[in-house]
Structures are given as C-alpha cells and as structure tokens.
Amino acid sequence: MKRKIKWLFVIIFLIFYAELRVFGQTKIIEPEMILVEGGSFMMGNKDGEDDEKPVHKVTLSNFYIGKYEVTVAQYQQFCTATGAKMPELPSEEWYKEHEQVKKWRWKETHPIVNVTWNDAVAYCKWLSEVTKKSFSLPTEAQWEYACRGGKKTKGYKFCGSNNAAEVAWYDETSYERGTQPVGTLKPNELGIYDMSGNAWEWCYDKYGTYENTAQTNPQGAKAGKFRVIRGGGWYYVEDMSRITARDGPYPYYNNFNYGFRIVMNP
C-alpha cells in the first residue's frame, strides 16, 4: 500500500514538473478575446488610396479576436518558454534620429513591437500548442470587419470614432514618444481597443490588389512577397489610422511601430 502511495506521489510530481516546464513556471497570460459574429460587409474604400479599391462584398463566419494588441508581458512568456529572443531595443543611432522618444524599455502593458510577421506567426503557433486552441493572425478581412465594429458598426472612419484622438495613438496624440499601454483610449463598437494607432498590426494575408468579386472567408492575395499590416502606429500620421488604410512590408521586416493581435477560430 505504501509503495503504491509512493509511486502515486512520484507520478503527480512528474506531471506537475512537466507543467511547470511547459508553462515556464508561470500561468500563461492568454489574450482576452472578443466574439465577432459573422456577417457581410463592403470591404475597402472608394474614396481611399488605390490599394483600398475596388470596394467588394465579403462574408465572414464567426471568429474571436484579441480585445487588445498582444502585450510585452504576453510575448515575453513566449520567449521564455521557447528560447526565442525578445526584439532588440533601439540603437543609439536610432535615438539620435528620434530625439523626442524617451529611452526605450519593455513595459509589460504596452503592445509588443519590433516584431516581424514570422515572429507573430511563431507566437500564434506556440500559444495554440500550449492552450490546445486554434490561434492565428487575423485575415485582412477579419481585421477590417472587426475594426468596423462587425454587425454593430456605426460607419466610423477610425476604429470606434470619427475623431482619431478618441481612439488612436498616432503622431499627434503620442507626441511621437513611443507606444502607450493597451486599452487606455475608447474602444470600438465591439469593445476592441487600439485597432487604430498604437502599433501597426500584422495580418495573415499576402499583400496584393483586391478582387472585384463577392468573397466568403477570403485569405487574401494568392501570390506575393509582402504581408499586410493594418491600423497605423504611434509614429505615423492620422490618415494611416483609418479603418481601410493598408500597407505591405516584407514578412521579415520589423520596426518600432509593428506589432500584432490574434484571432481564435471556433
């Protein structure tokens, strides 16, 4: 009987130890998610830049999206668990070119930035493995639909307002000094924060021209070297924080405006 109890204790200890190893001895800070009820919307902007046209109908299924951008604290857990390196801090030369920015340090409640598309995908893969859920970067269509407010949309220019200063950290509200804590400005109609401004957000899709046809759960351009980013950032002008504004860097490119948020598919 005593031997059985002893072996039971050993098994429990080994399971506990394995969990500590997997979770880096800390409970995973899983991003808080918002349900986005599926529906149809007109994607793009007839009055926007050339890459925002043509406006076309898109229909999406239900999905969950991060209430906030992935934070420094959340990304640090990924690095600790996997041995990945935290993004580099700015060099002295960078500060000379950005004199208004205070000396940078990683702050847990700020969005992680200076990450590549590849880094963001690796985080999603790790989080999926440790939580047994299905996380990924949002498709560009998911991102825009959520930013618009889904079925609760009020047709705003920015994510939650027609006044950028209410919802976005961009060059004139951040004073070009760096990122700000997530969730400190007004949310959009679905209760999502910072989709306009603070950090540009990587999407899953390849960057390319829109098709002039109705689509269901589109995955973006079929070919291309670049990946979509959305939402503008703390060092960019107000216009880049518009809901439909888009850009497309190389997936291995990073800077101190590039971050991401995640989606979870049911």
Whether residue 129 sits in one domain with residue 24: no
Q: Give 75's contacts (C-beta < 8 A, 6+ positions apart).
A: 86, 112, 115, 123
What SS3 class is residue 3?
A: helix
At what angle are helices 117-131 and 72-82 packed, to 10 degrees?
70
> What tokens were used for 50?
């050339």
Tens digit of pLDDT for each residue in 208-252? 999 999 999 999 999 999 999 999 999 999 999 999 999 999 999
Find the range with the poorest average confidence among 19-28, 62-71, 162-171, 256-265: 19-28
Which is nearest to 160 in space by CA: 224, 59, 240, 243? 243
Q: Where does 5-128 show beta strands of DSSP type E? A: 33-36, 39-43, 56-60, 63-66
Count of domains forming the chain: 2
> Which band of pLDDT confidence, cut at 50, 70 and 90, is reported for residue 1?
low
Please tell me which residue, 25 or 175, carries the higher pLDDT value: 175
Q: pLDDT value at position 111?
A: 98
For residue 9, give its domain range.
Answer: 1-30
Whether residue 106 sits in one domain with residue 15: no
Tens digit of pLDDT for each residue in 34-49? 999 999 999 999 999 9
The answer to whether the CB of 211 falls within 8 A of the CB of 56 is yes
Whether residue 254 sits in one domain with residue 122: yes
Asked if pLDDT for residue 8 goes beyond 70, the answer is: no
Whether residue 84 sits in one domain with residue 174: yes
- How far apart are the C-alpha atoms of 247 and 249, rounded to whole Å? 7
Q: pLDDT value at position 113?
A: 98
Whether residue 260 sits in one domain with residue 237: yes
What SS3 class is residue 114?
A: coil
Whether residue 106 sits in one domain with residue 2: no
Asked if pLDDT for residue 12 goes beyond 50, the answer is: no
Residue type, 199: A
Whether residue 25 sits in one domain with residue 58: no
Whether residue 12 sits in one domain with residue 118: no
> What tokens were used for 26?
């800390």
Q: Give 14's contacts (C-beta < 8 A, 6+ positions apart).
A: none
Q: pLDDT value at position 266?
A: 83
Cα of first residue to Cα of last residue in the chain, in angstroms, is: 46
The answer to whether the CB of 177 falls within 8 A of the CB of 91 is no
Whether residue 2 sits in one domain with residue 109: no
Tens digit of pLDDT for each residue in 76-115? 999 999 999 999 999 999 999 999 998 999 999 999 999 9
Mean pLDDT value across the chain: 92
Q: What is the CA radius of gyration of the chain?
A: 20
Tens digit of pLDDT for each residue in 104-162? 999 999 999 999 999 999 999 999 999 999 999 999 999 999 999 999 999 999 999 99
Whether residue 84 sits in one domain with residue 44: yes
CATH number at residue 73: 3.90.1580.10
DSSP count for the chain of H helices, then E strands:
7, 11
Q: Give 4's contacts (C-beta < 8 A, 6+ positions apart).
A: none
Whether residue 145 sits in one domain with residue 66: yes
- How far apart are the C-alpha atoms of 239 and 245, rounded to whole Å? 8
Asked if pLDDT for residue 71 goes beyond 60, the answer is: yes
Pairing of strands 56-60, 215-216: parallel
- Asked if omega into 251 is within 30° of 0 (cis), the reply is no
Whether residue 123 sits in one domain with residue 23: no
